[in-house]
Amino acid sequence: METILAYAYSFLLAAIVLKAFFSKNRAELFSPIVFFAVYYAYYILVPYFTSKEDLYGGRYNGTSLLLFAAIVNIMAMLIGYNCYKPNKGINSNNLYTLRNGKYLGVCLLFIGSLSYFVYNGFNINVVAVQTEFYDATEHRLGHSEQYITMLISLLPAAACLFYAIKANRLYFILTIVVATIIGVMGGSRYRLFMFYILLVTFYHLYPKPRKINYKVWIPAAVFFVFAMGVIEKTRNYGSGLDLERMTELFSDNSRSTKASETELVYYFSAKVMDAYQNEMIIPGEVFGTALCLPIPRAIYKSKPDGQYLRDANIKTLGTDAYGAAYLNIVEWYLALGWIGVFLNGLFLGMLSKYFWNNFMCNSDSIGAALYLSMYNGICYILVSRGYLAQEYVMFVYYVPMIYWISKLLVSFRCKFLNVKG
């Protein structure tokens, strides 16, 4: 049964990608639904077909449950994506123009870079831990400085704007260098991944959809995956890469050292589903934690702190001393059971169609291409991080926050600097 489910899921994801690949619309390969298919294949199918042993052991398995949940989720996503018909696009598509692009890019670069250092001077070795909104070890949520450091999400938007207006390439390169340094020093692989994924998306969508040069991008993708693997194994949060661990990476034969993040997430996700298949976490714990997250702890000292994550770890593995993130669909399974798995897919399908439709109706707009690119980047979090509070905060900072800050900057320029457009 497990094998049948795996091949059925493979067929569904392959159909999504192949449909886009053979489409006459070059932009189709950069639709959100394709990104979801690729991300899910990476986190579920790759470890299923390549991993040869259960990394955690124990009495829980849950592989069949996870595969079935994945099928239900992607089917619901396709229903939402194909049935939802947005009436209009985003009314801020014209916020970004060739006239104000450089101004906005410089401001976003400055704010995003400054936010990284604001609470720690300019000691780059210290800031990295604080770039993570959720500390899985100490369950520290809602610290005021974290709301500031999250503004590093402005950096990819700045890079896209510099590319769009074809300004001095120095600005574009500088933004890439700053974002890469922050990601490497902070050990934040997912931010690096999102940054480059959305840049590649924007490059292929603006000023018009481009044909993918596979001779260039396939080797680049292989190198990038290799680099992400090195960072995963050698990152030392707050002080960059550990050279000693980098040496050990190629000499240590232990399975625990060689295990990839995808394998850890895959097996842990399956085990959590198996452990909770006859019970659910109270939905209020999941949704309450997410809704209360923006409230400073100084105001609401007893607000939920994500304790259910630790409880799931203990119930599944018998300890919270080690573990991994679980997939998004698992969080919704814990909160609402199979209904949650379906509703999650339905909602993400509709949300994806909204951003895709906005781009298709405004394909010559910098803003439409930017929003779609930012969303394609955040889709990675919406798949790989089963922590609803983190997901919605990341979404706010990577999409609406870009608009709000840009709108304020343009208003300031028009009102106080007396510059139109």
Q: Where is the domain boundary, 336, 357, 376?
A: 376
CB 355 within 8 A of CB 389: no
Q: Looking at the structure, tell me whether residues 52 and 104 fall in a common domain.
A: no
Q: Looking at the structure, tell me whether residues 35 and 122 fall in a common domain.
A: no
Does the residue 318 lie in any domain? yes
Residue whose tokens read 């006859």: 278
Q: Looking at the structure, tell me whether residues 67 and 163 fall in a common domain.
A: no
Average pLDDT over residues 207-219: 89
CB 266 within 8 A of CB 69: no
Q: What is the pLDDT of residues 158-181, one digit of tens each?
A: 999 999 988 778 999 999 999 988
For residue 141, is pLDDT > 50?
Answer: no
Q: Looking at the structure, tell me whether residues 310 and 178 fall in a common domain.
A: no
Full residue range of the structural domain in which residue 122 is found: 93-138+145-250
Q: What is the pLDDT of residue 137?
A: 34
Give the mean pLDDT of the chain. 83
Q: What is the pLDDT of residue 241?
A: 55
For residue 129, is pLDDT > 60?
Answer: no
CA 102/CA 166 separation, integer angstroms: 9
Does the residue 122 lie in any domain? yes
Q: Where is the domain boundary, 250, 282, 308?
A: 250
Q: Looking at the structure, tell me whether residues 312 and 365 fall in a common domain.
A: yes
| Greatest extent of the chain over all pairs of C-alpha atoms, in Å | 68
Q: Looking at the structure, tell me whether residues 79 and 112 fall in a common domain.
A: no
pTM above 0.85, yes or no: yes
Q: Looking at the structure, tell me whether residues 98 and 246 fall in a common domain.
A: yes
For residue 120, is pLDDT > 90?
Answer: no
Tell me the percentage of the chain whose pLDDT exceeds 90. Answer: 46
CB 267 within 8 A of CB 323: no
Does the residue 258 lie in any domain? no
Q: How confident is the model at residue 254 (pLDDT cuts 50, 70, 90)?
A: very low
Q: What is the pLDDT of residue 390?
A: 85
The whole-angstrom distance between residue 87's C-alpha and the CA centroid of its chain comes to 27
Domain count, the chain: 2
Most confident of 148-152, 202-206, 289-293, 412-416: 202-206
CA-CA distances (angstroms) from residue 404 to 92, 154, 232, 318, 410?
10, 11, 33, 44, 10
Q: Where is the domain boundary, 361, 376, 391?
A: 376
Does the residue 6 lie in any domain? yes
Q: What is the pLDDT of residue 187?
A: 66
3-state secondary structure 192-233: HHHHHHHHHHHHHHCCCCCCCCHHHHHHHHHHHHHHHHHHHH
Q: Looking at the structure, tell me whether residues 208 and 334 fall in a common domain.
A: no
Q: Looking at the structure, tell me whether residues 65 and 171 fall in a common domain.
A: no
For residue 93, is pLDDT > 80?
Answer: no
CB 14 within 8 A of CB 56: no
CB 344 within 8 A of CB 332: yes
Q: How confident is the model at residue 107 (pLDDT cuts 50, 70, 90)?
A: very high
For residue 308, is pLDDT > 80?
Answer: yes
Residue positions counted in the chain: 421
- If you count DSSP H runs as helices and E runs as strands, how many of each does the chain have, helices first? 20, 0
Q: Which of 302 and 84 is assigned the larger pLDDT?
A: 84
Residues whose CB is less than 8 angstroms from the CB of residue 411 and which lie 6 or more positions away in sequence, other chains included: none
Does the residue 416 lie in any domain? no
Q: Looking at the structure, tell me whether residues 152 and 285 fall in a common domain.
A: no
CA-CA distances (angstroms) from residue 305 to 107, 283, 291, 296, 360?
34, 14, 11, 12, 40
Q: Looking at the structure, tell me whether residues 83 and 98 fall in a common domain.
A: no
Does the residue 128 lie in any domain? yes
Does the residue 163 lie in any domain? yes
Q: Looking at the structure, tell me whether residues 119 and 154 fall in a common domain.
A: yes
Does the residue 382 lie in any domain? no
